[in-house]
Structure 1
Amino acid sequence: MYWGMGAYGRKKKLTAPELVVVDVNSRYGNTSSNWTRNSLTMQCWLKHLQDIFNYREIDYIWFARNSSQFDIDDIKEVFGNTRRVVIGRSGCYAFNQMILQNFFSVKKLSIAHSSFPNSKVPGRVLMLNFEDLDIGYRWVERTILSLDELLLINSKKIYIDNLQMSAKELNKFIKLWQRGSNPRMEWLAIKHTIVKEDDKEAIIKGIKHEIFPSDYIRKFRAVEYHRIPREIKGGIDIVRVDGMKATIRFKYRHSFPAIEMFVWFDHCVVDS
């Protein structure tokens, strides 16, 4: 790497890597190779690997610790577009904003509250039409979203980790969904919530529903699972004002509660 004048001042440039590690995972096993050829630039290495594996897409770009030291324009020039961007602890709020500006066309976005000033995800980000929006940094960071902010989300698949929202607020969210909020949502998953198993009744209080046993199995395919459908065992069915059905499931694994909501759009229904 070297330092040069890049976007917004002096930034590191992407140059010829000293070492390239290639991990190949397949049904036959995993292999790892270390390649050294300093004459190739980062962009040449990328093209070389794309030619070898006959795969042109960049599945995702992960901006991790200290990535803010690099020139965002240089990163965009080398890697081009990607379907998914993961914004981790880059070390700079302004850099995180530049990531969103340069990769505004991504279909999938993973973010944490700590990626933004005052640990608050901007409403303009929540309102974008993502296929997939993940919020949270595993269970090590609390995710604080108000009910109004949750209602702003316009993504198809919504995954929220460690959400600090009460059973009463979740009950309000479901009722508002029944009235027409979050119309694009296909799948909602809330993991490591503060609600407890006893809160199940509070979450569905006042909501007309039908309970199905665990041996009643349906297949669901959301935008994230376009190849392999998921088996939905049992659950609590509710209906939106326009007749759209959804299934709510409560899961408790390793003492961490989770709530899932599946919306049965026609393209999500998989015939058995």
Structure 2
Amino acid sequence: MSEEERLPTRPTSLPDRIKMAMQSPEDYYIVKYLQMTVERVVIKLEKTKMTIDYGEGFGQFVLSFTKDSFKNLPEDSLPKPFSILGIFHGLVSKFTEPERGFDMRKWFDYLRDIIISTHIALDFGPGVECFSFEIIKRFLHGMDVSEIIIPELNNEYFRKILYEYPTVKYWVLAHEGPRDDEIYKEIMRRDTFHLCLQPNCKISLDDVSNCNIVNLEIWYTPDTSNQLSQKDLNTFLKNWINGSNPNMKSLSIKMEFEELDFEFTNNVLAGINYTDAPNYRRRKFPRSFMRHTGTDKDMIEYKGGYDFFRKDGLRGTIFYALDASYGDLASFRFIVWPNFR
């Protein structure tokens, strides 16, 4: 009889699977045999809490720590949670450790044996400094981190993360404290797949034209005085036509506005030979070109736009429109089409 036949009811939610795995070593290996696969897991570290989020439809686990968990830790050891909750569709399940001595890394490895993901994202939340940088290094030792999300950190802490993980390909930065522009520029000089910069960052035309980023996303607010100008974007497109940014697939800029600029497209395309694609013409673009999730069969649909060609024959398109999902927000997007030589 196979392992699947021995399961009277195949557990579907993460908490159900973990509960079954904890019943006995035999049940653990049965559940491990029926491994679940998710596209992305997010480990969020914040003050006295670690959340392991497997995404919509799968659920998350929340490990809570006391302040004393971080005090007087023996060398090479990690904090142990006092509470572990599994959350699935609003239902909360409480868990106890399968065996004594389960620290934060042992919990993650235990779950990782049951839920497989090739993309691990690390999200640093408010108060994360209670996890010393040495604790984070021990927790991540041997772990292949693909993405780092940093919404708010002091520069010293951020700089340590930046230089400790030089091979990370996805960065989401919304640094709101005192700004250190060299930190952003360091990432832009790297071989980076995706970089999202929230407001309060100073990025110049030279930074964008000389970067080695595949997908660059920038957010601006009306009071952002250091944003790229329409003339800068026009120069960037001309540089791309002449061969700059050979690896770039997408440049996206979200701009909050007080009044929509109807001359934006004309100014950005000034001096460029382009064709106007009608709105009824719908074209599909592989989502995997711009995101860590999805396959080449998972497509984003675009309509309209303005097409032009680089000197080597690659086709580029820009779009400029209101972003219906955000209200007073205009969206500029430049994409490079695959296989359109």
What TM-score results when the alignment is normalised by the length of structure 1?
Answer: 0.82
Deviation of 1:143 after TM superposition, in Å, equals 3.7
Q: Which residue of 2 aligns with 1:15?
A: 79
Deviation of 1:48 after TM superposition, in Å, equals 1.9
For residues 245 and 58 of structure 1, the distance between their equivalents in structure 2, rounded to whole angstroms, comes to: 30
Identity %: 24
Greater CA drift, 203-212 or 188-197: 188-197
Relative distance call for 1:70 and 1:237 in structure 2 (3 A) is: same
Query: Cα RMSD between the aligned structures?
Result: 2.6
**1:205-256: CA deviation from partner (whole Å, max 9, x where unpaired):** 1111000111111111114264211112121001112111111111212221
CA contact (8 A) 2:230 2:267 kept: yes
Letter in 1 for 2:255: H
Q: Which residue of 1 aligns with 2:270?
A: 205
Q: State the secondary structure of the residue aligned to 1:248.
A: strand
Deviation of 1:113 after TM superposition, in Å, equals 4.8
Q: Does 1:154 align with 2:212?
A: yes
Equivalent residue in structure 1 for 2:195, among 127, 133, 147? 133
What number of residue pairs does the alignment pair up?
252
Q: Which residue of 2 aligns with 1:229?
A: 299
Equivalent residue in structure 2 for 1:76, among 137, 149, 158? 137
Q: Which residue of 2 aligns with 1:166?
A: 229
CA contact (8 A) 2:256 2:328 kept: no
Relative distance call for 1:22 and 1:162 in structure 2 (3 A) is: farther
For residues 95 and 122 of structure 2, the distance between their equivalents in structure 1, rounded to whole angstroms, comes to: 21
For residues 42 and 74 of structure 1, the distance between their equivalents in structure 2, rounded to whole angstroms, comes to: 10
CA contact (8 A) 1:17 1:41 kept: yes
Q: Does 1:252 align with 2:252?
A: no
Matches within 5 A, 1:33-182: 33-37=93-97, 39-53=101-115, 55=116, 57=118, 59-79=120-140, 80-90=143-153, 92-114=154-176, 117-119=179-181, 121-136=183-198, 141-162=199-220, 164-182=227-245
Deviation of 1:77 after TM superposition, in Å, equals 2.7
Which structure: larger Rg?
2
**1:76-101: CA deviation from partner (whole Å, max 9, x where unpaired):** 332322110112212x2111111112
Deviation of 1:16 after TM superposition, in Å, equals 0.8
Q: Which residue of 1 aligns with 2:37?
A: none
Would you tell me which structure has more strand in proportion to its own residues? 1
Structure 1's unaligned 5+ residue stretches are 8-12
For residues 116 and 126 of structure 1, the distance between their equivalents in structure 2, rounded to whole angstroms, comes to: 19
Q: State the secondary structure of the residue aligned to 2:85.
A: strand
